[in-house]
Amino acid sequence: MEESYVRTMERKRQNQELYLCFCGYSLCQPGHSFGPAVRPNYIVHYVLKGKGRYQLGGRTYELEKDQGFLIEPNVMTFYEADQADPWTYLWIGFDGTRAKKLLEEMGLTVSMPTFHGDCGEQLLDVVKSMLHCEAEDLPDMLEMESLLYRFFAHLARDLSRQRDMVYPEQQNYYVRTAVEYIQEHYAEDIRVRDIAEHLEISRNYLSTLFQTILHTSPSEYLANFRLTRAKEQLTITALPIGTIASMCGYRDPLVFSKAFKLKTGMTPSQYRKTTREIQHMSIEQMRRKKQF
């Protein structure tokens, strides 16, 4: 028999940074499902035991104990309990002006909607406290708000610890693959988010890995790689600057020229002229040496 314990908040504060919409936990029956459906707010589920699957954007994620998943507003999702070992999970629905930013900082996005954890007992204690909180007057509302932040404090701390446990080999793999992706696609209109989505990790985590291993940011690495390729083209070809800009991922030649001058102190035209003068001088010096 399925058991569910649910709490729905009647008052919502649209201008608040973070507020609870509902919460609960459920011991699901085999095959119990929800959706396909679109939800109006954010929801985080955490699996306490058993198994199930979560479908989002044409992908299926098989989940079990100490894993969880994020549902974002206005996104079609579907999830169901395993037939042989149905899951028991808890959830909180929430929203607010800072909700999206908070989730991104924790590494949870549509492109990275699942996670591993080790804080199921703490999260369940918080949800049970939410279920028992009256929330009818100001002190209770403040208590409910503190419980919501406590939930995210447990989850953020746990996700940070799990992320730090990733083996160096895996970290190097992410950075190496990101660099290869940049080298293959730098001529396209790619952004850091495209690189992160290709790796299926968050932008924040990608930035952390780049800073740790390469001592630079992904955006800085991409910009430097593009400008290095631009310098090569300016030196060895007579192609128009607009063409070189496009070849190096810049759709606007003016943006390219500004970025180039910011890095080198010269415009692309000045750089081309200077390098050719240096090359010419070097050739002349070599000829003179041969004469002697």
Alpha-carbon gap, residue 234 to 275, rounded angstroms: 9
Residue type, 27: L
Instruction: Give, in order, the Cα–Cα distances in Å from 22 to each of 36, 42, 45, 153.
Output: 20, 10, 12, 18
Tens-level pLDDT at each residue, the chain (292 residues): 445 455 566 555 667 888 888 889 889 999 998 988 888 899 999 999 999 999 988 788 899 999 999 999 988 899 999 999 999 999 999 998 889 888 888 878 776 788 888 888 999 999 998 888 776 677 877 888 899 999 999 998 888 776 655 556 677 788 889 999 998 999 999 999 999 989 888 888 889 888 888 888 999 999 989 988 898 888 888 899 999 999 999 999 999 999 999 988 999 999 888 887 776 665 455 455 555 4
- Which residues, at least 6 apart from 257, have a Cβ–Cβ distance to it below 8 Å? 241, 245, 267, 268
Domains of the chain: 3-164 (2.60.120.280), 168-281 (1.10.10.60)
Per the DSSP assignment, residues forming a β-bridge with 19 are 95
pTM of the complete model: 0.61
Residues 91 and 84: beta-carbon distance below 8 Å: no
Alpha-carbon gap, residue 225 to 230, rounded angstroms: 9
Backbone φ and ψ for 195, nearest 5 degrees, come out as: -65, -45
- Which residues, at least 6 apart from 230, have a Cβ–Cβ distance to it below 8 Å? 244, 245, 247, 248, 256, 260, 268
The angle that helices 218-236 and 253-264 make with each other, rounded to 10 degrees, is 100
